[in-house]
Amino acid sequence: MHDVEISRAVEILRPARRVLAFTGAGVSAESGVATFRGAGGLWEGRSIEEVASPEGFRADPIKVWRFYEERRRNVARARPNPAHTVLATWQDRFERYTLATQNVDGLHQAAGSRDVLELHGSLWRVRCVSCGTERDDLLVPLPQLPPLCAVCGAMERIAVVWFGEFLPPDVMAAAQAAAETCDVLVVVGTSAVVYPAAGLVGIAAEAGAKVIEVNPEASALAHLADVTLRAPAGEVLPLLDAGLREG
């Protein structure tokens, strides 16, 4: 990463009125949250079907809940990093600003971001498998596994999107609308291989938005980027923000 690339990204962002930030696991990894892939990842030694699918939950809800309790403990120890902080401050910088994330850890909200579009749900919400009632639950650990719905008494599950399930239609629609109308899309810390969320990059580029990619490694959609910044988001975003403040 060179100063010229930072300057180019700042010049793209400075006149923007409508900005969409789209974040992935890389942002949370800088706060110590385990990712799914790679050595030490959440899938290591586990079958996706067993712990992150409706079928796995029906077969063994306790196993699935223990997996997510482990994740909740890990996330509860994490704190927002400088990337989360900058993305939160940008909501007051641009005329129209949308933050859409594939992350389920709530660190964007912990940094002060409002109205975050959680494309894949949240570790801090549970949903009844029978009546569909959702509620926030920040207790770690939960007093019982599985938790039971106060409305109908059925089991509750974690309110994240599992494999084989659809993304929340209202959340995805809002993210797509932001992608179609943004001046600039800032893609941060995502491999851009998980669809349909990754499709937001193509939607924005096709609609004429400038695309800035912030990631230590090139994503699957790096060819759509106007500027690529190959460094951790916690280092890059404060530099971009400082450049904007100087303008």
Q: Say what the alpha-carbon torsion angle 39, 42, 43, 47 is, to the nearest 10 degrees.
A: 150
CA distance 49 to 164: 10
pLDDT tens across 150-159, in order? 999 999 999 9
Closest CA to 20 of 177, 195, 172: 177
Ranges assigned E (strand) in the chain: 18-23, 96-101, 117-118, 121-128, 134-136, 156-160, 184-188, 210-214, 227-229
Predicted confidence (pLDDT) at residue 46 exceeds the cutoff of 70: no
* The pLDDT value given to residue 217: 85
Are 72 and 140 in contact, with CB atoms under 8 Å apart?
yes
Q: Which residue has the tokens 């810390």?
A: 189
CA distance 40 to 158: 22
Q: Kindly list the catalytic residues.
A: 120
CA distance 156 to 82: 34
Fold of 34-77+121-160: SIR2/SIRT2 'Small Domain' (3.30.1600)
* The pLDDT value given to residue 190: 84
Q: Encoding tokens for residue 109? A: 């909200």
pLDDT tens across 50-80, in order? 889 999 999 999 999 999 999 999 999 999 9
Fold of 1-32+80-120+166-247: Rossmann fold (3.40.50)
Domain definitions of the chain by residue range? 1-32+80-120+166-247, 34-77+121-160
Number of H helices, E strands in the chain: 10, 9
The whole-angstrom distance between residue 33's C-alpha and the CA centroid of its chain comes to: 12
pLDDT tens across 111-170, in order? 999 999 999 999 999 999 999 999 999 999 999 999 999 999 999 999 999 999 999 999
